[in-house]
Amino acid sequence: MVQPIGDTEQRQVEQKTEDYICQAEGIFGRPFDRIPVLFDLKGQTAGMFKTIGTRRLIRYNPWIFSKYFEENLRDTVPHEVAHFIVHEVYPRRGVKPHGLEWQALMARFGADPGVTFNLDLEGVPQRRQAKHRYHCGCQLHEVSTTRHNRAQRGRVRYQCVTCDGRLVYLS
């Protein structure tokens, strides 16, 4: 089992995050807020820029960073900082997450604008969601907890791609 990165490595990641924010300040000629950097991400994602209302933060996966430290310093840190900076510079929703503005900033950072993470995650703790059973007119379906919760809250309705029937929860 892979162990998460320790305090020393976390400080290195925080410093690299700060370095890219400083680089962005030079590129755009303006200051940017310093936002929290957390090491609480789990599963198959190495990093994430997240907004919660007006709060913004960057989350990193300490287990994936432990297994591929140099690769993540090189690729994941600028990737997430670029999401943050694009969010600040282009606050309107018309900008795609990995769109032209983000790609251009990644190029200015000298970082690969690829968005896929295709490394072996054996030994990295994985987040597993429970499955919930639904049915339609033709078959049974297993739906993730996230989708199940959205359906139960009435936010979405799921339909079968085979028979076009509405999915109904089997309680």
pLDDT digits (tens, 9 = 90+) for 83-138: 999 999 998 778 888 999 999 999 999 999 886 667 777 777 776 678 899 999 99
Supply the pTM of this predicted model. 0.75
Could you state, in order of their start, the residue ranges of all structural domains in the chain?
A: 7-109, 131-169
Q: Which CATH superfamily is domain 7-109 in?
A: Metalloproteases ("zincins"), catalytic domain (3.30.2010.10)
Q: Catalytic one among 80, 101, 122, 142?
A: 80
**Crossing angle of helices 100-109 and 76-89, rounded to 10°:** 130
Record the tokens describing residue 4, joined without a space. 């998460």
14 is catalytic: no
> Which residue is listed with tokens 């600028």?
78
